[in-house]
Chains A and B, each alone.
Chain A
């Protein structure tokens, strides 16, 4: 089962060994929870592996600059059935994770125009010079909270 803290993903597609086992349009009996889908594997032979590919989509409300962790949790049992009367099988669990970082806002400021032709590259102006500066803010897709642009003219 792939789980993501904060429900930042939607699981779009799951493929087990390149065979589609789940999609939003065709869940094949899987019941995805809010932040994960369980892919069940058949028994693995000794020293073999299986590849599970999850296609995920970040939700629109994810916060810029944050880091989202996707955790792949693996649960398995020593025996596929339970002996009647007593739970003899043993449960195991292990997990691994990957992270992605959400794009953050980018801010740029530049001198666009100065009335004093002698303005230097060091931005030295004489009194009375008017300047025009351009502030460019690139806001990433998604949800950016508490956005404040502060132009400090001191110093």
Chain B
């Protein structure tokens, strides 16, 4: 905004030009990202070993996690990567697919409910590339379920030699990262695990004082 002082009627006066400005900013909503542990194949492993509170997983045990995203309305590229980001691999991802796709969400990639992720050569990383997504902007207050994507991932602690992180006490994790928008903004969340191994010992003793015996005894 610009304005002047009073118009000049006399040479002794100088007209002053003034200006002022103001602004407001709004943040464009970002996807929210959440990950939750749903269960594993062994009931006997809990959370008490190593890092207290982290889920314990034995070698060969499978865990299932759900990661879900509440998408803002608009049109933008969207990609979701699930990995472990650990220096030593312990997980092998065995299944990853789209569990739910909100009714207000349309994708250019053709990914639909039940579509599998793309497994990377790393074996512990998968990618869901939704391409350009459109989340219907015509809805004033869309229901949460209509703008939510959820993905299910099943991962097993791999016994093979190619998984040096499958050893007792190793901290591992499943990370979910959503990359969206033309500036490739990333939002990530983690689910932490401890690899656990049983260490059974066997001891043998002779009953009573039997050390010298005869044949047939």
- The chain A residues found within 8 Å of chain B, CB to CB, are 43-46, 53, 57-62, 64, 70-74, 76-79, 81-83, 85-90, 92, 94-103, 140-143
CA distance A88 to B166 in the complex (A): 11
Chain B residue numbers with a CB within 8 Å of A62 are 215
Chain B residue numbers with a CB within 8 Å of A103 are 212-214
**How many A-B contacts at CB < 8 Å in the complex?**
111
Checking A72, A77, A101, A142 against B204 with a beta-carbon cut-off of 8 angstroms, the contacting residue is A72
Q: List 16 A-B contacts (CB under 8 A).
A: A44-B200, A58-B217, A61-B215, A70-B204, A71-B204, A74-B200, A78-B60, A79-B41, A86-B158, A87-B159, A88-B92, A89-B59, A96-B203, A96-B204, A102-B213, A141-B217
Chain B residue numbers with a CB within 8 Å of A88 are 59-60, 62, 92, 156-159
Chain B residue numbers with a CB within 8 Å of A58 are 213-217
Checking A43, A46, A100, A143 against B213 with a beta-carbon cut-off of 8 angstroms, the contacting residue is A100
Q: A98, B206: Cβ atoms under 8 Å?
A: yes
CA distance A9 to B102 in the complex (A): 69
Chain B residue numbers with a CB within 8 Å of A71 are 204
Given contacts A79-B59, A100-B212, contact A74 B157 (CB under 8 A): no
In the complex, what's the smallest C-beta–C-beta distance from B47 to chain A, in angstroms? Answer: 12
Given contacts A79-B59, A100-B211, contact A94 B198 (CB under 8 A): no
Chain A residue numbers with a CB within 8 Å of B94 are 83, 85
Q: Is B11 an interface residue (CB 8 A)?
A: no
Q: B215, A60: Cβ atoms under 8 Å?
A: yes
The residue among B58, B62, B159, B206 with the most chain A CB atoms within 10 A of its own CB is B159
Chain A residue numbers with a CB within 8 Å of B41 are 79, 81, 83
Interface residues on B, range: 35 or more
Checking B58, B213, B214 against A78 with a beta-carbon cut-off of 8 angstroms, the contacting residue is B58
In the complex, what's the smallest C-beta–C-beta distance from A68 to chain B, in angstroms? Answer: 9
Q: A74-B202, A102-B214 are in contact. List 6 more A-B contacts (CB 8 A).
A: A60-B215, A78-B198, A98-B204, A100-B210, A101-B212, A142-B214
Q: A59, B215: Cβ atoms under 8 Å?
A: yes
Q: Is B44 an interface residue (CB 8 A)?
A: yes
Q: A76, B214: Cβ atoms under 8 Å?
A: no
Chain A residue numbers with a CB within 8 Å of B42 are 79
CA distance A4 to B207 in the complex (A): 17
Q: Is B61 an interface residue (CB 8 A)?
A: yes
* CB nearest to A85 among chain B residues: B94
Q: B206, A57: Cβ atoms under 8 Å?
A: no
Q: A83, B60: Cβ atoms under 8 Å?
A: yes
Chain A residue numbers with a CB within 8 Å of B14 are none
